[in-house]
Chain A
Amino acid sequence: MDVIEEIFRDQPGGDEQAMTASDEGSRVLRARLEQILDGLREDCSDVVGAIVSGVDGMAWAQRLPAGFDQNRFAAMSSALLALSDNLVKEAGEGSPRKVLIEGEGGNVFLMHAGERLLLTVFTRADSNLGMSLAHANHAVEQIARLVAKCED
């Protein structure tokens, strides 16, 4: 209880910094996730950045453009996906799959990657939607496989 009290004493908002790779396991996991994101960017030139985060809004691994705050994006993605999930379920449309946001300057995909994680992908405005999605799906599969392996 003392350790937890320490955390809360330091951060009145009850917040925690992005998952610290304080132990070897976390560090390795983060490195593997980053590899998947690197692969995504290499395979798909339309992808300008991506982040893997927890459903609770904490950042796990990222390959984001300079100036992007991974903590803010992790939090926003979890909020958006949670609300979207609610909407889809309430509309009786089965399990939620992904959220596509079309912006003037680019697009964003948010999707579940296994039970605990989500992947957020940022693409150029003129991207080939189908292709970017296919690559994002592939990354999600890789992430889910990786996490399943880690949990064994």
Chain B
Amino acid sequence: MNGIAQEKIIFTGPVGAGKTSAIAAISDAPPVRTDVACQGGERAIKATTTVAMDYSYIQLDDGRRVHLYGTPGQARFDFMWELLTRNGLGLVLLINNDHPEPLQQLDFYLDAFADFIRETGVVIGVTRMGIADRARLDDYQARLFERGQVYPVFEIDGRRGEDVRILVQALLAVLTI
């Protein structure tokens, strides 16, 4: 008997990029969240962090239900990266432009998820571009070009449902190519 195929999209990216917020912004139902208080040095960056996953789902215009999973950002949770991406449709990579080295973050996550991206696809959403001027869209596109990975990059406000929807729709479009 075949299992029921689940369509799922995974959100990943560094701590503070806005994965949890993005999933909450776009979801129809309140997401499952596993936020806990940050301790130690991380406290200065953020009050809370995701330690397992965010989960929710959306209904597309054509009626399909797509499940959304958000990964923790820290590399110590990379076992969750592997678990969550299994049988996924594709990846939404959020990068926080307010980070000191956003392009380095881009490299790190594209490398970390290289196998999954190769099998499926990725779109990149850059958050907090209005707040910080570390890198511009051109810089992200240039870096992707250098890597030989030309994927869509958008500047978004991760708290706005419409922006996050654009990312999801762009990913679905990328996947059909």
Chain A residues within 8 Å of B, Cβ to Cβ: 4-5, 7-9, 11-16, 19, 54-58, 71-72, 74-76, 78-80, 82-83, 85-86, 90, 116
Contacts and interface: CB of A to CB of B under 8 A. Distances in A.
Interface of A, secondary structure class, is: helix
Nearest to A76: B79
A82 B52 contact: yes
A19 to B, nearest CB: 6
A36 to B, nearest CB: 19
B150 interface: no
Contacts of B144: none
Contacts of B108: 12-13
Interface of B: 14-16, 32-34, 36-42, 44-45, 49, 51-53, 72-80, 99-101, 104-105, 107-108, 112
17 contacts: A4-B41, A13-B76, A14-B73, A15-B74, A19-B40, A54-B39, A56-B38, A57-B77, A72-B76, A75-B51, A79-B52, A79-B72, A79-B77, A79-B80, A82-B52, A86-B32, A116-B37
Contacts of B33: 86
Nearest to A8: B100
